[in-house]
Structure 1
Amino acid sequence: MGESWWDFIASELRQARIRAGLSQEDLAKRINYSASHVSGVETGQRPPKADYLAAMDDALKTGGMFGRMLRRASLVEGTPPWLRAWIENEREATLLRWYEPAYVPGLLQTEAYARMTLANGLLTAEEIEQRVASRLERQAILTREHPCQIVTVLDVMVLRRPINGQPGVMGEQLAHLVKTAELPHVQILVVTEDAGLYPALQGGFILATLGDGSVLAHLDHQVRAQVVNQPDDVATLQRQWEAVRGEALSRRQSLELIKEVAQTWT
C-alpha cells in the first residue's frame, strides 16, 4: 500500500520543523501544544487536526500550506475510491442537474446534516469526520470565481423527513437551502405530493455537462456509485430528468414552499 495523504502530511510537518531548526519541545512551546502531541502527529499516532495545522502555518509562516494539505487529504482520503472519479467530473462541470428523492444533495448540505446522514453505524467516528470534510470541500464549486450552475429537483419528503429527532438540524438545513436558492446560478425545485407516483421516484441521479459539452451521469446505489457514459443510457436519464422537472413547481413557488416547511422545524 502506498503512502497515504495523512502519512505525507506528518512527514512534511516533521521536515518543516527540522528546516526551522526547532526541536519538538521548541515547536510545542511556540504553538502552545505539548511535546508529546507534536511527536504523536509526526509519527502518525495522532491525526493532524485543523487547529493544529493552523497553528503550524502561523508559527512557521507557510502561507496556509498545511491547511490546504488538510483540505486535499480530507477530499481524497475521506471519499470512497469509487466516488473520486466522479468528483473530478463534478469539478469540471459547467452544469449539474441533480434529482434527489431521499436526501438533500451533498453539494447543498450543512455540516450538521451531512454528519447526521453519515452516522448510520457503518462508519467509524474518524471516517464520518473525513467524509463530512470531503463533502463540504466539494461545495467549493458553487462559490468559486466561475461557479458551476446547478439545477436540483427534490421530492417534497426531503424537506419533511425528520432526521434522528433533531428538528434544529432540519431547520438549519432548510434555511441554508433558502439562502443557496437565492444565488443566481442555483435553482432548487420541489415536486409536491400532488404529483403522485411520478417518473424516477425509485432513485436519484445526477447529469453533469462538461466544458466540451459532453454529458455524464452518476447513479448512487446502496453499496457504491456508478458513472454512466453510454450515450443510450445518458439519453434515457436526460428524458427522465425532463419528465421529473416537468412535475416540479416553479423556482419561485419552490422557494416559497421551502420557506414554509422551514417554519415547521423551528
Structure 2
Amino acid sequence: MESEPTAELIRAQLRRLRMKAELSQEEFGKLVHFSGSQVSAIELGQRPFDRFFLKRADEVLDTGGLLTSLLKMAERDGQPSWFKPWLEAERQAQQLRCYLPSLIHGLLQTENYARTIIRTDDMISDDEVEKRVSARMDRQSILVSPDPPMYVVVLEEAVLRRADESFRGLMVEQIAHLIECAQRPRIHVHIIPATVALHVGLVGPFSLARSRDGGWVGHQETQLGGEVVDKDEDLAILLARWESVRGQALSRQQSVELMKDVMTSWS
C-alpha cells in the first residue's frame, strides 16, 4: 500500500477534482480506462493506484500534474529512514562526488538496469521493486534541474563488463546512457581501468555532498543499510580517499573512449 499520509491526500484530491469536474466514478473511469468500481476502490483506499492511473487522471482532470507530483512525495516518504538524510543532502548539494566499485551509481542508472539490480533481492515483492525503481528515476531529476550540482562519479571498468550474454542489450543501453550523461557540462564520469588492480577505494562505496554554504556530508552503504558521515575527522578521511580514487581514474575524455570500446564489445 502507498505511503501514508500522502496516499490519503492523493485519494482525497482525486475525489475532490473528479467531483469538481462533475464526473461520476463511472464516467471518470471510462476516461482513464478503469471501471467505476475500480475508481471507487481507489478512492476508498481498497485498491492501490499507480503512476499510469494518476498520469491519466492528471490529463483528464487538467490538474497540471498535481497527482503525479503527490505520488513522488509518497515514494519519497517510503524511502528507508537511514537513506532520507542523504537524499536531502543530495538534493541540496552544490557538488556531488561518488565512488562505486561494483555498480553504476543510482543517479546514472537506466530504468532497466535499476530494475534488474533491485530484483536481485529475493525478499522484495514485485510491487516494491517497481516503487523503488520509480523512486530512483525520480531521484535523478536533480541532474536536469535549472541549477544542477557539479556531479563527479568514479566507476571501475569491471562494472561496465559485469554481465553475461543474457544482459548484453541491457548493458549496451546502460553504457550508452553513461556516455550521454558524461557529455553534459556538469556531469563528469571517470573510469578506473582494470589495469589498476588494487587501491584504497575497493574497501567500499562512498559519496560526498558539498552544500551551498561549503559544508560537506558523506554517505556509506552496507548490506544492512547505510550511514551519514558528518564528523570532521571522518569527512577528512573520505575526502582524502576520494582524492586517491580520483587519481587512479582516467581523464574525462579517456573514460568516454573506454566506455565506447566496452559498448562496442557488448554490441
Indicate the TM-score class for this superposition, using the shorter chain for normalisation. over 0.9
Question: Match of 2:218?
Answer: 217
- Distance in 2 between the 1:189 and 1:58 partners? 41
Question: Match of 1:138?
Answer: 139
Shift of 1:128: 0.8
Native 8 Å contact 1:141 1:148 kept in 2:
yes
Residue 154 of structure 1 aligns to a residue in which SS?
Answer: strand
C-alpha RMSD of the superposition: 1.6
1:53 and 2:54 correspond: yes
Residue 249 of structure 1 aligns to a residue in which SS?
Answer: coil
Question: Match of 1:102?
Answer: 102
Shift of 1:228: 0.3
Native 8 Å contact 1:75 1:134 kept in 2:
yes
Native 8 Å contact 2:94 2:211 kept in 1:
yes
Give the TM-score normalised by structure 2: 0.94
Native 8 Å contact 1:75 1:133 kept in 2:
no
* Deviations 1:35-79, CA, capped at 9 Å, x for gaps: 1220121122322222221222222221221121122222322x2
Native 8 Å contact 1:95 1:150 kept in 2:
yes
- Distance in 2 between the 1:116 and 1:205 partners? 22
Residue 189 of structure 2 aligns to a residue in which SS?
Answer: strand
Question: Match of 2:74?
Answer: 73
- Distance in 1 between the 2:245 and 2:82 partners? 27
Question: Match of 1:87?
Answer: 87
Native 8 Å contact 1:99 1:153 kept in 2:
yes
1:178 and 2:162 correspond: no
- Distance in 2 between the 1:124 and 1:41 partners? 21
Q: What runs of 5+ residues in structure 1 fail to find an aligned partner? A: none
1:207 and 2:208 correspond: yes
Native 8 Å contact 1:75 1:131 kept in 2:
no
Give the TM-score normalised by structure 1: 0.94
Shift of 1:163: 6.4
Native 8 Å contact 1:209 1:215 kept in 2:
yes
CA 1:171/1:104 → structure 2, altered by over 3 Å: closer, same or farther?
same
CA 1:215/1:164 → structure 2, altered by over 3 Å: closer, same or farther?
farther
- Distance in 1 between the 2:238 and 2:186 partners? 22
CA 1:25/1:91 → structure 2, altered by over 3 Å: closer, same or farther?
same
Question: Match of 2:23?
Answer: 22
Native 8 Å contact 2:94 2:149 kept in 1:
yes
Paired letter, 2:106: G
- Distance in 1 between the 2:64 and 2:99 partners? 40
Shift of 1:194: 1.8
CA 1:163/1:147 → structure 2, altered by over 3 Å: closer, same or farther?
farther
* Deviations 1:178-211, CA, capped at 9 Å, x for gaps: 0000001111111112211111202010010100
Shift of 1:18: 2.9
Question: Match of 2:170?
Answer: 169
Shift of 1:121: 0.8
Residue 208 of structure 1 aligns to a residue in which SS?
Answer: strand
Question: Match of 1:115?
Answer: 115
1:236 and 2:267 correspond: no
Residue 257 of structure 2 aligns to a residue in which SS?
Answer: helix
Paired letter, 2:115: R
Shift of 1:26: 2.6
- Distance in 2 between the 1:165 and 1:80 partners? 31
Residue 63 of structure 2 aligns to a residue in which SS?
Answer: coil
Q: What runs of 5+ residues in structure 2 fail to find an aligned partner? A: none
- Distance in 2 between the 1:250 and 1:143 partners? 23
| Percent of residue pairs bearing the same amino acid type | 40
- Distance in 2 between the 1:136 and 1:164 partners? 26
Native 8 Å contact 1:219 1:227 kept in 2:
yes
- Distance in 1 between the 2:224 and 2:233 partners? 24
